[in-house]
Chain A
């Protein structure tokens, strides 16, 4: 008879039964988010990966802050009387604010970058600081918001339910398929926009599609796994893969692979040491940076 796999003294079957959606969510994020992050990194907009999730978190906190007013006018979103589907409603409510704030942040940063004032990095750093402060201040406006945001910020992702997982899987799945299927077009308009125009492409449309993919990924992921996990997965796997990739195809594949392995390693570390899953995942992914830090890989 084959002995059952245990992690940290807990049978894996029990871990799966209790936390299956959380493990799958970590894996989906690990595989898909680095694809988005790869484009951010080579477009020299890696800072977006840090700042945008904070905008999304601020959006969720804003949603909690205005919840009393919203409930008064549009009905109780978090505790509906006649619906057994409260999680779905709440998710949609949080998603709308996360999405709106992410898109506003994305548009603002894109416009700032287009001006080429030389202050782009400073503007993004300031935006990150402001969004972080706004998240904390807005969350304090409601007790429920404070608990929810604290949980998001600490990366405690073990409470993900089927609705949250489906939202994440559909959104990130669609983004990943789109990025892989149209990687040549996204690469062309980002790398050589003048050539794209000469060949009759509309760089603005493709740029818009790419930004939409970034916004959707960040909004859906912040809602479910929190800002720390998503910004770690947007930035670290592509950074680790960059030194070993000889082509854009290899770069995307390696980034995604490192993200996926980070998710699996993070799950194991989390249950073995009884650490929170989100930070464990990011700590594990950081191990993949070691080879490039000691000079292994391409120049």
Chain B
């Protein structure tokens, strides 16, 4: 077995007794930057949650080589009623008691996402783009080998979308940083940084290489074919 960060073999993923994805085979290697793409309702979130370990495979196997995982949820899932400071949000990214070193890391990670001056601000009062960058800084607290991001550019204006993708590209550092798995709808945003994509449709997962994906035409053809199937 190669030293894949995550290896999935003949796995079915779903909820209850209903499997949504069947016979998934894939390996996530160190330094990869993969988009998880597909039509609405095709099972992108199911794959994402499966790889993240939030749901177990109903059949087959999932092996984790990576022990440190970072997670960036959709910010809409987080209740704005909580009076949490940016620093409190960042420290949430740790599973252990906060140490002096962690406090220094929290500030360093905030600097890294360009929000070093907002440590004492209230999280819910930040703009959507700033909140997303704080959540990325939080995910970095555990020095992850794989970073999972669930639609980090949704509900964010264009300049902030570009900023977030640029930040992720810098973190990935051309494969020297953590592997990145990102659910996204904006294909053009992924074209530059991503090294490939996982196309989810009709219960299957297909890996697309950089050439097919980056040009955009391959994805467009897949979307087009899907659209025809639904409407014909």
CA distance A248 to B87 in the complex (A): 11
| CB pair A194 B122 closer than 8 Å | no
* Residues of A227-251 whose CB lies within 8 A of B: 242, 245-251
- Contact mask A29-44 → B, CB, 8 Å, 1/0? 0000000000000101
| CB pair B92 A187 closer than 8 Å | yes
* Residues of A177-214 whose CB lies within 8 A of B: 184, 187-188, 191-192, 194-195, 197-201
Q: Which of B54, B69, B84 lies in contact with A191, CB distance below 8 A?
A: B84
Say which size band chain A's interface belongs to: 20 to 34
Tell me the smallest distance from the CB of B64 to a CB of chain A, in Å: 12
Interchain Cβ contacts within 8 Å, total number:
72
B131 within 8 A of A: no
| CB pair A195 B91 closer than 8 Å | no
A298 within 8 A of B: yes
Residue ID in chain B nearest A200 by CB atoms: B95
Q: Specify which chain B residues have a CB less than 8 angstroms from the CB of A246 in the assembled complex.
A: 83, 85, 120-122
Say which size band chain B's interface belongs to: 20 to 34
Q: Which of B91, B92, B142 lies in contact with A192, CB distance below 8 A?
A: B92
Q: Specify which chain B residues have a CB less than 8 angstroms from the CB of A194 in the assembled complex.
A: 54, 71, 73, 77
| CB pair A248 B78 closer than 8 Å | no
Residue ID in chain B nearest A249 by CB atoms: B88
Q: Specify which chain A residues have a CB less than 8 angstroms from the CB of B92 in the assembled complex.
A: 184, 187-188, 191-192, 195
Whether A242 contacts B83 in the complex (CB less than 8 A), given A195-B93, A247-B122, A298-B122, comes out as yes
| CB pair B88 A192 closer than 8 Å | no
Residue ID in chain B nearest A242 by CB atoms: B83
Residue ID in chain A nearest B97 by CB atoms: A184
| CB pair A191 B83 closer than 8 Å | no
CA distance A277 to B29 in the complex (A): 67
| CB pair A44 B79 closer than 8 Å | yes
| Supplied contacts A191-B84, A192-B77, 17 more A-B pairs, CB within 8 Å | A42-B82, A42-B83, A187-B82, A192-B92, A194-B71, A195-B73, A195-B93, A198-B52, A199-B95, A201-B95, A246-B83, A246-B121, A246-B122, A248-B82, A251-B83, A298-B83, A298-B125
- Chain B interface (Cβ within 8 Å of chain A)? 52-54, 69, 71, 73, 77-79, 81-85, 87-88, 91-95, 98, 120-122, 125, 142
